[in-house]
Amino acid sequence: MEQKTPVRFTLGKQSSLAPERIVDEWLDGKEDGEDGVLDIDPRVRLMYSANEGDLEGIKEILESGIDVNSPDIDFRTALHVAACQGFTDVAQLLLDNGAKVDPKDRWGSTPLADAIHYKNHDMIKLLEKHGARPPVAPTQVKNARQVPEYEIRPDELDFSNSIELSKGTFHIASWRGTQVAVKKFGEEVITDEEKVKAFIDELTLLQKIRHPNVVQFLGAVTQSSPMMIVMEYLPKGDLRTYLDTNGPLKPTKALRFAMDIARGMNYLHENKPEAIIHRDLEPSNVLRDDTGHLKVADFGVSKLVKVTNRVIREDRPLACDETSCRYVAPEVFKNEEYDTKVDVFSFALILQEMIEGCPPFRAKKDNEVPKSYAAKQRPPFKASAKFYAHGLKELIEECWNEKPSQRPTFKQIIPRLESIYNKFVQKRHWKVRPLKCFHNFEAMWRKDGSSVGSRTRSSRSGRGI
């Protein structure tokens, strides 16, 4: 039998991994028949029909005896083409007729990888249902000795009773008999270089962190897809939920919570040789442990900053879909240079919210709040003065100062919070103590049989009360 010349199909969407190039004529290998009609290679006709979603055309070609897995010169099949276009009915027809679910083209891309690249979610589900394996993670190493020490095998993570946590990113799973919080990265990360870099950056941060007021990193899945980060699970939830449930906190509790946050943030900022800027410090990213203490969490948009150069300037402004605009310092959204003091600004807003019982500028939409900060506006103090321990309101105002250089560091904030807390507790203690002593004396006078009334009057006149 005469061997047909290899052909290349180049209409429609191309391989997700193919380099940019000037595409060849899609009818490579065509010849004029004796009657002047183009003699198109049946393999190209199959791919063209898949590209057009022509089910009847596909059936006709397959009935003529053409192999459903016939590749072109780039080893792409009709299923690759259908996956790129997102035609699930075409893919189902091809699979029903024996199409291989995981063929690789010359660049190593499979139909599933193409479907992921073009965000064809129904196609992804269909291919996975038929046994398609997710592509390897872009962080996969070639030598087993290079696998990170913190690597967790995905089959060790049990998601059978998984519960989705806040923001839809974290899930509860079981790992070696322990409940853990797992941050899953979607399939789109595999083909997005920026997101892969963000994943690696977050791992770089988490490996450095060990502090009782910062959520503990346990490990990660980096050698397969989906990639995942595994953290300790804190069942008591986040500060956002706690505030929504309990409203304004008592001053003593607000101060204890504030000290927890400040200690965790001070550890991050004092990290050597690179300081860590959280950049997304807000109640949803502060979690409660079993003892009622707080831990700082979620470093998805955090930054490492060289100690010798603690200033960052972004290539583009931070968007509201990346973080909560309501708690971010104005210099970040104005795309100005910024440093660790952006976290101090956020801390001030959280501290005030714990006293006031409502988020900053609650009446405004999330994306409108940065304009208020940029206009030098700050959330009003509405709670009674008795709820602000002496010096606390002044500390909050210093922390959200318009000039970052005028804001205190967390190293300076911690002793001030401790002093405010101790004075507030002592003040309350002395208010109660005299009354308690008086009752003790009264009980003693009763025991010796003396007149309580006369002794009480005598005592009062003797102390000048």
Longest CA–CA separation in the chain, Å: 134
Per the listing, tokens 């101060």 go with 255
d(CA 225, CA 140) in angstroms, rounded, equals 10
d(CA 203, CA 217) in angstroms, rounded, equals 9
Q: Which of 352, 351, 350, 312 is nearest to 332 (CA)?
A: 312
d(CA 223, CA 379) in angstroms, rounded, equals 46
- Provide the token pair at 271: 């990290």
Omega before 148 cis (within 30°)?
Answer: no
Q: Which of 72, 74, 135 is nearest to 101 (CA)?
A: 135
d(CA 333, CA 139) in angstroms, rounded, equals 31
> If you count them, how many residues does the chain have?
465
Backbone φ and ψ of 339, nearest 5°: -140, -155
Which stretches within 270-340 are classed as H helix?
A: 330-333
Among positive and negative, which fits the CA dihedral 456, 457, 459, 463? positive
Q: What is the dihedral of CA 301, 304, 310, 315, to 10 degrees?
A: -50
Backbone φ and ψ of 447, nearest 5°: -65, -35
Q: Is 280 a catalytic residue?
A: yes
d(CA 239, CA 263) in angstroms, rounded, equals 16
- Provide the token pair at 302: 């955090």
Gyration radius from the chain CA atoms:
33
Using alpha carbons, list the distances in angstroms from residue 136 to 77, 126, 191.
20, 19, 11
Which is the catalytic residue, given 72, 238, 280, 343?
280
Q: Which of 57, 80, 55, 56 is nearest to 69 (CA)?
A: 80
d(CA 101, CA 399) in angstroms, rounded, equals 57
Backbone φ and ψ of 305, nearest 5°: -130, 125
The catalytic site residues sit at 280
